[in-house]
Structure 1
Amino acid sequence: MYSNREKKAAKKAQTAQVERHSTLKYPYRLNFYDVPPIDDITLEEFETCALDRLRVLAEIESSFARNRSYEDLKTVTLAQCDKYLPLHSSTAKSVDRDAERRKDHVGHFVLRLAFCRSEDLRKRFVKAELALFKVRYDNDDTAEREAFLSSRKFDWTPVPDEEVKLYSQQLAAAATAWSRDPNAAPPEKYFKIKWTRVTDLVSSRKVFLKGGFAYVPLRDQASMVFAEYAANLEKALERTARELPKLDEDSRIVPILDHLSQGFLAGVSSEWSSSSAATDGNQITADMIDDLARRHFPACMRNLHECLRRDKHLKHFGRLQYGLFLKVLGLSIDEAIAFWRRSFSNIQEDKFNKEYKYNIRHSYGLEGRRANYSAKSCQQILLADQPGSQDNHGCPYRHFAPDNLQTALLSMYSSQGLTAADLPEIMATVKAGHYHVACTRVFEITHAALGVKKGDGIGGGESVTHPNQYAARSRELEKAKLDALKTDADGDVTMG
């Protein structure tokens, strides 16, 4: 055990270490975002900072929708932050800490602009941002966290010793209500704060209430910090909403904000990167597609494939959605032409060449303006080119009637382990508008035999954001299992 003198010396050394890094423009990882960024920011940085932060917030929303425990949410959020929004300690020497914190700062304020537009967006944004702040608060170094708290003036009042003595019996009763030790003495230090600011502590009966104030012990200081953060952000969003009309004439920024808010409403953060998916040795042929569809395709592409096989035709947006998916999956232009020609077996050769072949070549960047078109992400499928009654494109989780969706899911995936008992959970997330969460849950169920457990998502707890991401991950899991079986078989042969 350490002596009190040793403990004081260690704390002093930690405080000094924080002070040595006070020359940072952003001295703390924790941030209440009181002051907007005033530096010059390029449009590219404006969008990139926001998109990377949105990836983190979207996964937090998915965690809420999937009823993850706080510990699971924390694990997933920290993993996402490491990938898209890292914030190293002030003692870190090998990274540009100010650059990391600037990105965090800019991204927060851009998303404020995007999500201040409606009460629903503001509530969702505050909930997700508060969860991110809690995770960072819990994960921060003790010395840095205390230095951050000391730097702010919080809206609560220390309770004088005389008042603590006056209400000692009530305070002790509140402490006993939550303490594991029924004989535990109440903490010596308390703060007074309006009870409406710490409703979580009130609902769990952890505090003494008097005259509209909650007496909060020092050990529950975090609840007051979180309440202060949420209250500040709610007020800031309301102020931003009043000022937002001034941006309406800015043709550069408004489309970016529209894109960000639409992605948040859809519950999907951004496009999965598929730039190398078709060039990593995973080339496929037209003859392979039927089998790949059965084993690896998400519901949107599985539906398009089955409609194509049934009707020997797809309308324009269906061909576009499915064709670009197959292109990124690894289907070459020659194999694509062969696949579509074979699929449109009721159409004469001349008509196919005149009306369809050009569009296929165009989607591969070989005609027209020769653009290299990417496959459509979940966000685009959910929000753009809404399907009519005669169309087959879109997202089944959003665009199918509930009864039709359940029938379709059982038809598509019962051979991969999906049962009627799984449908209530899936349909509940669909009803709540969390379509990507429903798709992710189907992925988990249908890949359980490959080692995927509930909560794993597409990998590392992440949700599906792109049809090609779903297919690519499915093929990776299958390949890993086959490689493992082959290794085991080779080992048995060698030993024999």
Structure 2
Amino acid sequence: MFQAAKQSKLQQDGNDDVFFVDNGNTSYRLSLYDQPPLYDVTVEEFETSALDRLRILAEIESSAARNRSWDETKQVTITQCGKYLPLNSNSASGIDIQAERRKDQLGHFVLRLAFCRSEELRRRFTKAETTLFKIRFESDDSNERRAFLNSKDFNWISVSKNEKDEYKGQLQHFISAKMDLDTAFNNEAFYKVKWTTIPDLVEKRKVFLKGGYAYVPAREQASIIYAAFEERLEAALLATSRAIPLVDEDMRLNPILDNLAQGFIAGVPSDWVASAETTGEGITADMVDSLAKQHFPLCMRVLHQSLRKDHHLKHFGRLHYGLFLKVLGLSIDEALAFWRKSFAGGSGSDKFDKEYRYNIRHSFGLEGRRMNYPAKNCLQLHSAHEAGCPYRQLESSPENLQSALLSSYSAQGLTINDLPEIMAQVKKRSYHVACTRVFEITHARSVRKGEGLRDGESVTHPNQYAARSIELEKESKEMEVDFV
């Protein structure tokens, strides 16, 4: 499927749901992804492997947007990888190592297909993937890392002893000596590479330059490896972009690849709620007002406030809010009671039954096609023209957005001093990061800055926000009872 000369070509094996893809070397936890995988894969595995990897890359981008330190970014990424993309060393026992390698390889190559289509996507994908590679490199088993390096050609030249001695005066400035300088110099290995491949070390003056080459001390060897990973991935993405018309012929994959690309652009990887089933405990119509004031994200608070003010919501407002409440735990009977009471204060029962009852039952899968529709995720709300994400829709009206934030969350501790930080994320179009920061501020008793919903995870779904908020309140009450 992803041959170097024919990046992206899919070959059907006669089954509409299975593709044949190339098998690559999965001997090591680290990979340059220079050999494509080879095995049968279903469309479902094709998509889920990419979605889980996209979660990791989205959190890496989110860390950059939130100005997390390298240690914080590394910890968040490792935690998220443990949930969605585990990749253990060969020495791990009781784990299907090959299954982990398979998912890692497949997810990477599928995302190449999705993100090769524009220069901006290629740049962001390369940057996020390089960061993931760095984190894995630093946390890898030392023996396996050494074996991986020995198996690859990174186009470096070992500097001979004679050459080291020739430039000793210059090279010894790059020795970090905890012992005698001459002894440290003799023990340090150096490698020569084209200076253009390691601009970061050149900029920081950590290498000696001579004749177009940079003399790199062994302790800075990782920079050569990172640069090689980035350079090879950039070249592979360009090759994939030239072959992408071959994939465009398959109409089953286009929607998947388009959704992946849109999710990456928005910084939101996928649905948090995998189905339309209720994720919380059952709630009643009378509980909604209280829940909205304490636990709802801004998108749903705005809809709730509009409903209470006007006793009405337009079609998409009813759709988005109704599905959100359904997944939160509002049953069909309670939903009918809630909407009947909300519209004109409960008057006009005949009009309600005639105009709205069918659509409400339809959203629960009780009418029409009888599909139990899921709630809309952040990506879908970002692209909605009506009743969508307020961070995006009010981006051009910062005063209105700030007013909405203060009126909605001031009772939960958000102040005017918090607004510049939130608006800075909105300006960068990192809407999910802005929403996550609001969650942290309004749950400051239980959540530290940078922690997100849990383990650094960002908001990707309104129900995810509400469910975690309710969960934190429950945990807090249980702790109070235990304390008493």
TM-score above 0.5, yes or no: yes
Q: Distance in 1 between matches of 2:178 and 2:420?
A: 38
Alignment check: 8 A CA contact 2:382 2:389 kept: yes
For 1:70, the equivalent position in structure 2 comes to 70
For 1:320, the equivalent position in structure 2 comes to 319
- Which residue, 439, 459, 464 being the options, matches 1:443? 439
**Unaligned 5+ runs, structure 1:** 1-23, 388-392, 490-496
Deviation of 1:273 after TM superposition, in Å, equals 2.6
Deviation per residue, 1:132-177 (Å, 9 max, x gap): 111111111111000000001111111122221111111112336x
- Which residue, 392, 404, 418 being the options, matches 1:398? 392
Deviation per residue, 1:246-298 (Å, 9 max, x gap): 22221011111001001101100111136597365x11111111111000000
Deviation per residue, 1:221-241 (Å, 9 max, x gap): 111100000000000001100
Deviation per residue, 1:386-418 (Å, 9 max, x gap): 22xxxxx10011111212111110111111111
1:25/1:123 CA distance change after superposition, 3 Å = closer
For 2:115, the equivalent position in structure 1 comes to 115
Deviation per residue, 1:283-337 (Å, 9 max, x gap): 1111111111000000000000001111111000000000000001111111111
1:274/1:111 CA distance change after superposition, 3 Å = closer
- Which residue, 414, 425, 428 being the options, matches 1:418? 414
1:256/1:140 CA distance change after superposition, 3 Å = same
Q: How many residues align?
A: 456
For 2:249, the equivalent position in structure 1 comes to 249
For 1:157, the equivalent position in structure 2 comes to 157
Q: Give the TM-score taking structure 2 as reference length.
A: 0.91
Q: Distance in 1 between matches of 2:477 and 2:297?
A: 21
For 1:14, the equivalent position in structure 2 comes to none
Q: Distance in 1 between matches of 2:173 and 2:93?
A: 48
3-state SS, counterpart of residue 64 of structure 2? helix
Q: Distance in 2 between matches of 1:92 and 1:59?
A: 26
1:1-20 superposed matches below 5 A: none
1:124-139 superposed matches below 5 A: 124-139=124-139
3-state SS, counterpart of residue 35 of structure 1? coil
For 2:79, the equivalent position in structure 1 comes to 79
For 1:148, the equivalent position in structure 2 comes to 148
3-state SS, counterpart of residue 268 of structure 2? coil
Alignment check: 8 A CA contact 1:277 1:329 kept: no
Q: Distance in 2 between matches of 1:234 and 1:98?
A: 26
**Unaligned 5+ runs, structure 2:** 1-23
Q: Distance in 2 between matches of 1:159 and 1:469?
A: 55
Q: Distance in 1 between matches of 2:60 and 2:93?
A: 29
Q: Quote the sequence identity (%).
A: 61
3-state SS, counterpart of residue 448 of structure 1? coil
Alignment check: 8 A CA contact 2:439 2:452 kept: yes
1:90/1:227 CA distance change after superposition, 3 Å = same
Q: Distance in 1 between matches of 2:336 and 2:390?
A: 27
For 2:11, the equivalent position in structure 1 comes to none
Q: Distance in 1 between matches of 2:148 and 2:25?
A: 14
Alignment check: 8 A CA contact 1:30 1:133 kept: yes
Q: Distance in 2 between matches of 1:471 and 1:271?
A: 15
Alignment check: 8 A CA contact 2:276 2:373 kept: no
3-state SS, counterpart of residue 133 of structure 1? helix
For 1:8, the equivalent position in structure 2 comes to none
Q: Distance in 1 between matches of 2:214 and 2:366?
A: 69
Alignment check: 8 A CA contact 2:174 2:217 kept: no
Q: Distance in 2 between matches of 1:362 and 1:228?
A: 54
For 1:470, the equivalent position in structure 2 comes to 465
Structure 1 residue identity aligned to 2:389: C
Alignment check: 8 A CA contact 1:25 1:98 kept: no
Alignment check: 8 A CA contact 1:113 1:240 kept: yes
Alignment check: 8 A CA contact 1:174 1:207 kept: yes
Alignment check: 8 A CA contact 2:54 2:269 kept: yes
Deviation of 1:488 after TM superposition, in Å, equals 1.6
Structure 2 residue identity aligned to 1:284: I
Structure 2 residue identity aligned to 1:144: E
Q: Give the TM-score taking structure 1 as reference length.
A: 0.89
For 1:433, the equivalent position in structure 2 comes to 429
Q: Distance in 1 between matches of 2:266 and 2:178?
A: 43
Deviation of 1:211 after TM superposition, in Å, equals 2.2
Alignment check: 8 A CA contact 1:175 1:207 kept: no
Deviation of 1:61 after TM superposition, in Å, equals 0.9
Deviation per residue, 1:429-466 (Å, 9 max, x gap): 111111000000000000002x2110110011100011
3-state SS, counterpart of residue 345 of structure 1? helix
Q: Does 1:459 align with 2:458?
A: no
